[in-house]
Structure 1
Amino acid sequence: MLQASYPYYLANKAVTPNQDLVVYDKYSGEAATRVALADAAAIDQAIAAAAAAAEPMRKLPAYKRQAILNFCVERFEQRFEELAEALCIEAGKPIKDARGEVTRLIDTFRIAAEEAVRIGGEVLPLDITPRAEGYTGMWKRVPIGPCSFISPFNFPLNLAAHKVAPALAAGCPFILKPASLTPIGALIIGEILAETDLPEGAFSILPCRRDGADLFTTDERLKLLSFTGSPEVGWQLKAKAGKKPVVLELGGNAACVVDEGTDLDDAVARIIFGAYYQSGQSCISVQRVLVHEKHYDEVRDKLTAAVKDLVHGDPRDENTFIGPMISEKEAERLHGWILAAKDAGAQVLAGGEREGAMLQATLMENVDPALDANTQEAFGPLAILSSFSSFDQALEEVNASDFGLQAGIFTRDIYKIQKAWDELDVGGVVIGDVPSWRVDNMPYGGVKDSGLGREGIRYAIEDMTEIRLLAIRNPG
């Protein structure tokens, strides 16, 4: 069960100045708990504390950083079901998916614990020219300093973890703004971090209103901004961030190609997962399904039957696959796209109906390529079918998007695999599976409107550290 209320965390300490943020059960629509909201003064205090903690965090030995991360892993395991239930309530995430996210939270912190003692450097030969004879170089990575993190609603635990865990591994203090719709998971992470002996000011976790969060972006004491969320907001924040580096993970319009000669039953099963897992509210959710014309009718029929069989309902039910979207407003938006496509001549093969925040898993074909359902990020349980006659045509269609996060390709042809890897303008190409697949140690991020930079612990640590060179002259 959720607590009646939750504090925020300011400079490692629980603080409850108010209970102004109501967090709702996304399935019932009822108030589930209340959370303290930070104002601009609290955010300023948190930034000052993080700046003061930069030196103690930099000096924290690697083995101590590793021990703190391993302690978190142990506590997450002890509180596994509590974390899963919180996700189920605050995000409307089906309980099996919620447990999957808690497992990934644990993985992410475990990977970070391993990487905390692997942040090395390199000896660099400098005598590449006569004028540099007698010189030796070497470089190491040093923490960039206080970091600012803004995390989204759809993976409240693991996407926060992908910012928090590498920061701790690298020795960077941080402030985190969790999504106001789903702050509980991040606050439980804060509760566990508060049990450690991290230097004072090493972390603050501050739910706040969007209009009060400007300091997360603009304050020059913060040396890096990492944001996961919508493209519209992300690019606005980048424009306001000033001199600090910015990492953006902004979403997608992911395509999946089913080539000729593919195991169709396997492809269909994976596409069902990729398109409708947690009601499609993932930035790498399968939105566009491109099927070779030789297999189109068979894949359409198999997918249609499978979508119709998906169980919708209460996310607490172990059998539920499709729960509510994050809000009725979001469900209305995507339902409007479905109706607009239908009015323009598209066919609804399965689903298409909405009741409140519950939008049925929907499969469509013959959707006008210019409509929002095809060009924008659905971020909900919608997939669109189309056919292609040549692999080159399929790759062109995958690239015909403003987004470029990941793509999935079902093919057994090694030359087509190489071509897809060479030609697709995306951050990751997944062969034999859907673009929705991710392991938490791999480089993850996109190009074009999908963002800048890469997450995945080792790659995030690179962003959260700077290279410092040492050059030595031997006058001998």
Structure 2
Amino acid sequence: MLESLLKAGTEATVAEAPAFIAGAWGGEGPPLIRTGPYLRRVVSRTTTATGEEVARALAYARPAARAVARLTPAARAEILERASRAASENREGLARLLALELGKPLKDGRGEIDRVADTFAVCAAEARQIGGEMLPVAGWARGAGNTALTYRAPAGVALAITPFNAPANLLAHKLGASFAAGNTTLVKAPPQAPASSAAIVALLLEAGLPPQAVQLLHGGGEVGALLCAADEVAVISFTGSGATGQAVARAAGAKRLVLELGGNAATVVCEDADIAQAAKECARTGYSNSGQSCISVQRVYVHHSRYEDFLTAFAQGVDALKVGDPLDAATDVGSMVDDDAAERVVRWSAEAAAAGARVLRGGTREGATAAPTIVAGPTRDAQVVVQEIFGALVTVLPYDDFDAVIAECNTSRYGLQAGLFTRDMGRIITAWRDLETGALIAGGTSNYRLDHVPFGGVKDSGFGRETPRSMIEDYTVVKTLMLRGMSVWGASASLDEESDR
């Protein structure tokens, strides 16, 4: 399957991306067609899961979970390590699939596949660390004479719902960590990336992943809702919009959830910052993947004394970006996921301009390709400030007081990550403490992530942390063994009591 998918990407034919249900590739539902947003032609094809197929996948999942749980952590780790090497070996072909289905530039796609390789390697390392602890039960009188142990056991059936913007790496996180924990996983792929998702599943299977460990279903919200509501599912990991995340939570009911939702990330540039470097970083990370990232640079607050200097340098950085064919290795900015997404950039920038902002660059689109857009000085209630643009648009606003700009950043209903450019360690500590975000990137923009470091937000950006170690905790349950009347701690309450024996 992997070879045929990669071949389709190389030969520019339609990639057939079937479902993988109950150990077999196939699918009988209505066709699901993906038209490439840049090429404007059909690039991949699959089928929408039917209710019967969902039921069959769920029926298969419970016995499959018991089988997968019997694999040793070492065996799981070895499979994941092979998958890591396979991702690196197939880097170019996988990146081409991302470019065809999503309009993602090859350089961004290659970077995503590099992260897939890293993620599988980290999941393998974490699988080798799964254990438990001996509890200090003899520290209290009622526990004397007993021993208690715990270990982390697989939760059973996990559900991974992945987004379109990073379909390969976020699938690697969810599926890799779930398998490392010893679970079987139901994957609901994004309709915009069926071939990219199928390729990652096929890569894992070829690396030795047991067929019982994964099932792949395609479709929209109706398929996701059926899976979320299923009693067989023990834990759900979802990445996507806030509105869809709320729908997932409602459908899931009393299940464990990890929700990584939206953001409109802020980056603060202080008066002591290296303006040229800050502007260059904001240009590079504000428009990578056309800004379609929950931590993409959206709001940049610059001290008023450096504001115009920053705008000049930032515009120069944006002018240097190459916009165009995502299959061109030199392209920095490809297309967005569809025409509607690109039109949102155009519409919101025009609304900001009508309210007094300056649109220094962009504000236009050609099909699904939005020109990198700079909106300077929008009103604080403009949509480009308060909403998540999730597109090729960055706003730049002046500020006067550091404490005030921290408070302004916190007015957002989101709280995923923030960036900060300053040489003042006191400001860094203050921002780390006071910003209502899951992380602060000091010396960089909001758009930076290491896959082995905890990642997640607060407020409407969700809850839980999406890194392999944290996810393994979510994907496992603590099981306790109490040994009554057997103690490694000693059973006597005093030395006198011992001497009487």
- TM range, smaller chain: over 0.9
Which segment drifts farther, 238-247 or 29-38?
29-38
The residue aligned with 2:447 is 436
Q: Which runs of 5+ in 2 are unaligned?
A: 1-7, 492-501
Question: Distance in 2 between the 1:199 and 1:298 partners?
Answer: 57
Q: Secondary structure at the match of 1:53?
A: helix
Whether the aligned pair in 2 keeps the contact of 1:144 and 1:465 (CA below 8 Å) is yes
Q: Secondary structure at the match of 1:201?
A: helix
1:101 equivalent in alignment to 2:74: no
Which segment drifts farther, 98-107 or 120-129?
120-129
Whether the aligned pair in 2 keeps the contact of 1:137 and 1:469 (CA below 8 Å) is yes
Q: Secondary structure at the match of 1:321?
A: coil
Cα deviation for residue 198 of structure 1 reads 4.2
The residue aligned with 2:187 is 176
1:163 equivalent in alignment to 2:174: yes
Question: Distance in 2 between the 1:196 and 1:324 partners?
Answer: 32
The residue aligned with 2:35 is 24
1:362 equivalent in alignment to 2:401: no
Whether the aligned pair in 2 keeps the contact of 1:66 and 1:113 (CA below 8 Å) is yes
Whether the aligned pair in 2 keeps the contact of 1:56 and 1:199 (CA below 8 Å) is no
Q: Secondary structure at the match of 2:247?
A: helix
Letter in 1 for 2:247: Q
Question: Distance in 2 between the 1:197 and 1:267 partners?
Answer: 44
The residue aligned with 1:426 is 437
Q: Deviations over 1:2-45 (max 9, x none)?
A: 36322211123211436711122220211113223321211111
The aligned runs of 1:332-371 (5 Å cut-off) are 332-371=343-382
Question: Distance in 1 between the 2:370 and 2:244 partners?
Answer: 25
Q: TM-score, normalised by structure 2?
A: 0.92
Question: Distance in 2 between the 1:249 and 1:358 partners?
Answer: 26
The residue aligned with 1:202 is 213
Residues 196 and 385 (structure 1), Cα distance of their counterparts in 2 relative to 1, 3 Å cut? closer
The aligned runs of 1:109-258 (5 Å cut-off) are 109-195=120-206, 197-258=208-269
Residue identity (%): 38
The residue aligned with 1:376 is 387
Whether the aligned pair in 2 keeps the contact of 1:10 and 1:201 (CA below 8 Å) is no
- Larger gyration radius, structure 1 or structure 2: 2
1:407 equivalent in alignment to 2:418: yes
Which segment drifts farther, 72-81 or 140-149?
72-81
Which segment drifts farther, 322-331 or 189-198?
189-198
Residues 196 and 261 (structure 1), Cα distance of their counterparts in 2 relative to 1, 3 Å cut? closer
Letter in 2 for 1:327: D
Q: Secondary structure at the match of 1:214?
A: helix
Whether the aligned pair in 2 keeps the contact of 1:12 and 1:193 (CA below 8 Å) is no
Question: Distance in 2 between the 1:325 and 1:274 partners?
Answer: 15
May I ask how many residue pairs the two structures share in their alignment?
Answer: 476
Whether the aligned pair in 2 keeps the contact of 1:87 and 1:93 (CA below 8 Å) is yes
The residue aligned with 2:102 is 91
Question: Distance in 2 between the 1:342 and 1:65 partners?
Answer: 54
Whether the aligned pair in 1 keeps the contact of 2:456 and 2:463 (CA below 8 Å) is yes
Whether the aligned pair in 2 keeps the contact of 1:156 and 1:183 (CA below 8 Å) is no
The residue aligned with 1:309 is 320
Q: TM-score, normalised by structure 1?
A: 0.97
The aligned runs of 1:264-303 (5 Å cut-off) are 264-303=275-314
Letter in 2 for 1:52: P
The residue aligned with 1:459 is 470
Cα deviation for residue 136 of structure 1 reads 3.0
Question: Distance in 2 between the 1:135 and 1:428 partners?
Answer: 42
Letter in 1 for 2:142: R
Q: Deviations over 1:198-237 (max 9, x none)?
A: 4443210111132233221100110011111110010121
